[in-house]
Amino acid sequence: MPSPKKVLLVFLPSESGVDGARSLYGEREITPFFKWFNRSLKTIIKQSPFAIPPLSLMILSSIEVAGVEQSICDMRFEEFPFNERWDLVGISVQTGMARKAFALADKLRSAKIPVVLGGAHVTLFADSCKPHADILVLGEADDLWKELLTDLTTQTLKPLYQSSGFPDLGLSRPVNKRSLIKSRYFTTNLIQTGRGCQYSCDFCNVHLLNGHNLRRRAVADVVSEVEQFQQHDRRIFFFVDDSINADPLYALELFRQLTPLKIRWFGQATTTLGQQHELLETFARSGCQALLVGIESIEARSRSAHKKNQNKAGELVRAIKNIREAGISLYGSFIYGLDGDTLDTPSAILDFISETKLDVPGINILRPIPGTQVFERLREEGRLLFDPLDVTAYRYSFGQEMLYKPKNIPLDAFIESYSTLTRQVFNIKNAVTRGIAAPRAKSAVMLFNLFYAHLYSLSRHDLQHQLEKKP
Ligand code: SF4
């Protein structure tokens, strides 16, 4: 019998962020006290892994084809295993990590290991990926990957795999976690119930990559996946959908059926949940501990400039209070630097956080992702700070780099005001206070706030460094 074809799926680390916070410019000069503080904080962070597994690679590695063995290499934790034989290596490429992905692909190909590139960046910028790959996979790969693996066994691989539409998620596609090393992750219980988003926020690429129609998996398939996952890992579940309440009837049915399983779960939702009373109660009863909601902006001008019209300011505060009163902790994510923002925006954000008592605020800088509408607009307006033709320059970091010029605020004043804002929001006292006040998941809330105190101090350092370099 011929030996099975060995396929390795690779996930690359980003420059910085929750999976490994680091300065974009190397170690910084700090006082001995802060050295000690950072060392202690890093130890706590190391012992409480925030990393979650790469879901897309979990899905692909679960596709079974006779004569093929698949495994995952998560380069956040390990080096690429060059000492083993690989018949094919697949690399998931996000724009922020494209340079690293291309460097690895080039190295593998020079060692005669065939490389397939897929993921968001490849789907949006296929031409620039071609020189670094033997094979490209464009779009959602659920169906294409099976075809590709079958072609691998018959030595009939094609240079391009692309489908004309989106995969039908109603078909049963069981996901397993055989390729994951459990201890590395915060949890391995990642569940996706559907894809697509009906909104068109101009800074987001979800609707470009996954379409405007909500596609849902069958409730029975999701319930059975939760039952199966629970047997291998009793930790928290994370429903990774961009908005778990986007289809309220579906969500109601799903979480009613999940309630008897007594799981604890995190998810992402829109603030509309605060008005969906029956669903909110069902979420709380089914074990929901915390939700991430995208508040993005409390400035009406900014919401309309960026097509984030679904959040209405007057309803936001009440909605957030309702969710917290139902016993669910909230991570509220803001973006500062949108086109309607001014130097008064930070104090409005501070007032909003204090009124709503958000458990974990996330204060992001607008990050124009190449391929999105906002990237194109900023390019036309001459406001991008890096060469728009080199989209790989738009790396991912955690509020540590300005990629564009804000509309109403000079760059240096913006960086100064953003730094002051993050200093006021994230400190040890606030982390402890928020942890104690959180409706649920108190220690996770405290830890996240502490971690953010560390990350945003990196942000302030790196932004100052960028300002001094004046790109
Ligand atoms: S930001 Fe959220 S609501 Fe807006 S398009 Fe993206 S996924 Fe949809």
- Give the CATH number for residue 67: 3.40.50.2300
pLDDT of residue 39: 64
* Three-class secondary structure of residue 89 per DSSP: strand
Q: Assess if residue 392 is contained within a domain.
A: yes
Indicate if the pLDDT at residue 14 is higher than 70: yes
Identity of the highest mean pLDDT range in 16-25, 299-308, 447-456: 447-456
Kindly state if the Cβ of 242 falls inside 6 Å of ligand 1: yes
The CB of 359 under 6 Å from ligand 1? The reply is no
Ligand 1 and 105: CB distance under 6 A: no
Which residues make Cβ contacts (< 8 Å) with residue 171, sequence separation at least 6?
none
Helix and strand numbers, DSSP H then E, in the chain: 17, 14
For the cut 90, the answer to whether the pLDDT of residue 127 exceeds it is yes
Strands 288-296 and 329-336: parallel
Residues 284 and 425 in one domain: yes
Residues 130, 237 within the same domain: no
pLDDT score, position 260:
98
Cα–Cα distance for residue pair 36/47, rounded to 1 Å: 17
**Ligand 1 atom 3 nearest Cα:** 199
Give the nearest ligand 1 atom to 308 CA: 4
| pTM score | 0.91
Q: Which residues of 142-166 are buried (b: 16+ CB within 10 A; e: fewer)?
A: bbbbbebbeebbeeebeeebeeeeb
Residues 267, 150 share a domain: no
User: Is the CB of 299 inside a 6 Å radius of any atom of ligand 1?
Assistant: no
Can you give the CATH number for the domain in which 286 is found? 3.80.30.20
3-state secondary structure of 360: strand
C-alpha of residue 311 to centroid of ligand 1, in Å: 11
237 shares a domain with 97: no
d(CA 322, CA 319): 5
Of 336, 298, 334, 301, nearest to 416 by C-alpha is 336
In a domain, 182, yes or no: no
373 plus 258 within the same structural domain: yes
Q: What mean pLDDT do residues 167-184 have?
A: 91
Position 368 in a domain: yes
C-alpha to C-alpha distances, 10 to 59, 174, 206, nearest whole angstrom: 13, 21, 22
pLDDT at 75 over 60: yes
pLDDT at residue 19 tops 90:
no
One domain, residues 316 and 413: yes
**What confidence category does residue 15 fall into, taking pLDDT thresholds of 50, 70 and 90?**
confident
Q: How far is the CA of 201 from the centre of ligand 1 (A)?
A: 6
CA distance 105 to 131: 10
167 belongs to a structural domain: no
| Residues constituting the chain | 471
For residue 238, give its domain range.
187-469
Q: Ligand 1 in contact with 307 (CB < 6 A)?
A: no
9 lines ligand 1 (CB under 6 A): no
pLDDT of 31 reads 64
Q: Say yes or no: CB of residue 296 within 6 Å of ligand 1.
A: no
Of all protein residues, whose CA lies closest to atom 2 belonging to ligand 1? 242
Mean pLDDT of 43-59: 76
Q: Does residue 171 belong to any structural domain of this protein?
A: no
- % of the chain with per-residue pLDDT over 70: 92
Q: For residue 207, which atom of ligand 1 is closest to its CA?
A: 5
Same domain membership, residue 253 and residue 154 = no
**Which atom number of ligand 1 is nearest to the Cα of residue 242?**
7
Residue pair 215/168 in contact by the 8 Å Cβ criterion: yes
Instruction: Tokens for 101, please give them.
Output: 């992905």
What is residue 451's predicted lDDT score, i.e. its pLDDT? Answer: 87
Strands (DSSP E) contained in 325-407 are 329-336, 360-365
If asked whether residues 416 and 321 sit together in one domain, one would say: yes
Please tell me the distance from the alpha carbon of residue 278 to that of residue 283, in angstroms, as a whole number.
9
**Residue 301's pLDDT is what?**
80
Question: Is 259 within the bounds of a domain?
Answer: yes
Domain presence at residue 173:
no
Which of 207, 240, 244, 270 for mutating ligand 1's site (highest number of atoms within 8 Å of CB)? 207
User: What is the C-alpha separation between 264 and 180, in angstroms, rounded?
Assistant: 21
On average, the pLDDT of the chain sits at: 91
pLDDT band at 202 (very low <50, low <70, confident <90, very high): very high
What total of structural domains would you count in the chain? 2
Q: Are residues 114 and 219 in the same domain?
A: no
- Digit-coded pLDDT (tens) for 93-123: 998 889 999 999 999 999 999 999 999 999 9
| pLDDT higher than threshold 60 for residue 59 | yes
Q: 470 C-alpha vs ligand 1 centroid, how far in Å? A: 32
Would you say 402 and 385 are in contact if contact means Cβ atoms under 8 Å apart?
yes
Q: What is the pLDDT of residues 365-403, one digit of tens each?
A: 999 999 999 999 999 999 999 999 998 889 888 889 999
CA–CA dist 375, 201 (Å, integer):
12
- How many angstroms separate the CA atoms of 140 and 232, rounded? 27
Task: Verify that 255 and 351 share a domain, yes or no.
Answer: yes
Check whether residue 224 and residue 327 sit in a common domain: yes
Q: Distance between CA 13 and CA 377 in Å, rounded? A: 29
- pLDDT at position 248 is 97
77 lines ligand 1 (CB under 6 A): no
Sign of the C-alpha dihedral computed for residues 368, 374, 378 and 383 taken in this order: negative
> Are residues 425 and 331 located together in one domain of the fold?
yes
Question: Does a structural domain hold residue 99?
Answer: yes
